[in-house]
Chain A
Amino acid sequence: MSKIHVSAVVNGDPVDFLADPRESLLDCLRDQLGLTGSKEGCGTGDCGACSVTVDGVLVCSCLVLGVEAEGKAIGTVEGISQGSTLHPLQRKFIEHAALQCGFCTPGILVAAKALLDQNASPTETEVRYWLAGNLCRCTGYDKIVRAVMDAASEMREAV
């Protein structure tokens, strides 16, 4: 099976990799680029653990082919902090203990950031529906929703 050369930008950095056309973007990120923050929970689009942005659009990277990334800007959880300075969402997740095992957390951070990038003051209902495609087996969601709401309000005050 011949591999295809793919050039993309991941978290602002230009990258090149060789993808088998059947390989998902998730597998390319993890196995070719060593970005193992994005997780595979289901591989079928149901759990959101693999959430990334492609040209700013939130998607499940398990349902995108690596070869589809050609020329695209990909955002993963590794790009959320500024160096060692955590993003407000990351700090609030820690403060609110919005994670236990942490498997869902990268996907939820990416998804929540995508929401706040387009809506600085979401209602709780909006947060819950936006995150409906991100499953968490541990927290019961309330802490996650609180952390997102709190991060949003802190980010609004900072502006």
Chain B
Amino acid sequence: MHYHKPQTFEDAIKIAATAQGVTRFLAGGTDVLVQLRAGIVTPDTLIDLKLIPGVRDIVREADGGWTIGIAVSGAELGRHAALVAEWPGVVEGMNLVGSTQVQGRATLAGNLCNGSPAADSVPGLVAAGATVSVVGPNGTRKLAVENIPASPGRTHLQPGEIVAAIHLPPRGVNGGDAYLRFIPRTEMDIAVVGCAISLTLDGDKIATARVALGAVAPKVILVAEAAAALIGTTLDDHAVSALQAAATAAAQPITDRRGTVEFRKDVTAVLAARTARIAYARAKGEAK
């Protein structure tokens, strides 16, 4: 295994373009090293992206949005008070990843690029309308986060392409987001279902909404019908039922040792309602 630590994305792209065999990028390594040690993936080339200047920064953009560097750890994200205040759902998703030790290393970019359908930070990013800058041998492109995951362990990134930054749109006024997951214990487990909702209000009415589900399909999914059930409502009981019906219909889970199809669909409905209520209360400024 060849280990590289490029100082620029250009160099990282060049190394990846000429590398033979299996290439992995190294952010926090909490997936890469587990897979390496278990013999699941032994990269021939490992490209550490953490030494590229700027990758640990969280930057406020002129339009009020945010750019998050690809090596920012979960712990660093959680300590950023202004970001937490505006996008609590995005941050709480990432902060659910693993233990204190894992939080010291794990990144949003790694969680996204690892391609797990149960990745805890991805529904929050999708609901937020986050985008990523992707750099590669054929130039730079910007992709919506929901267009990155393809299937378990796979993404739509082309060989040699690197996520260079994650962008959150301006939160604006009267917005709120939230992420909840169900796990059989209280810490250190993989989501059986995850749900993230971001919405904005016009008075008491929901003006815009995005609903994302994790762990109930081969990838994290954006559910437009569930968002439509919320828009124009005050999150009354009728709207909550419609949200639950739409979310459950969109969920296409599998049965495994963590839960059956029926159980996952039930939990999807429960989490969708709870997540919507938290996001709504946050948008009203009634909850943190």
Contact = CB atoms under 8 A, between A and B. Distances in A.
A35 interface: no
Contacts, number: 82
A86 interface: no
For this complex, into which size category does the number of interface residues on chain A fall? 20 to 34
A67 B3 CA distance: 8
B99 interface: yes
Contact of A63 (B2, B29, B48, B187): B29
B188 A63 contact: no
B75 A46 contact: no
A63 B2 CA distance: 17
Interface string B30-53: 100110111000100010101000
B3 A4 contact: yes
Given A21-B46, A64-B105, A44 B38 contact: yes
Interface string A128-139: 011111100000
A46 B29 contact: no
A44 B37 CA distance: 8
A68 B48 contact: yes
B101 A59 contact: yes
Given A24-B37, A65-B29, A133 B3 contact: no
For this complex, into which size category does the number of interface residues on chain B fall? 20 to 34
B252 interface: no
Interface string A26-48: 00000000000000000111101
A48 B30 CA distance: 13
A8 interface: no
B104 A57 contact: yes
A130 B100 contact: yes
Interface in A42-88: 43-46, 48, 51, 54, 57-60, 62-65, 67-68
A59 B28 CA distance: 10
B81 interface: no
Given A46-B188, A64-B33, 19 more contacts: A4-B3, A21-B2, A21-B46, A22-B36, A24-B33, A44-B34, A45-B33, A45-B98, A48-B99, A48-B101, A57-B73, A63-B34, A68-B48, A114-B100, A129-B100, A132-B187, A132-B188, A133-B98, A133-B100
